[in-house]
Amino acid sequence: MPSKTFAGKTVEVDNEGFLVNHDDWTEEMAPEIAKEEGIDNLTEGHWNVIRFIRKDYQKTGQIPTIRRMKNAGGIPTNELYELFPQGPAKKSAKIAGFGKPQGCV
């Protein structure tokens, strides 16, 4: 399995660059992963989504869908697309240290 180094920590990733083990993730890694996804600066809005994803995963054991982020997280869908253009579920999950969400092709 391939590996990458983020914030000085080498972690296993899959062929698309998603972390294999979400427990390897640290907040210091997020900005570096975001840059790879074309997001230069993580704003408080980005962090709200990232923290919701991590907290919701702990509660449900699943990566939240866009619908769940909207309904349970109170994050408007249009805001998700503004923060994480061209694939908000996939990009936000990757930056939060998770694998590819179900339903993403």
Catalytic residue numbers read: 104
Cα dist. 40→35, 36, 43, 59 in Å?
5, 9, 10, 30
Alpha-carbon span 7 to 26, nearest angstrom: 9
Q: Position 4: which residue type?
A: K
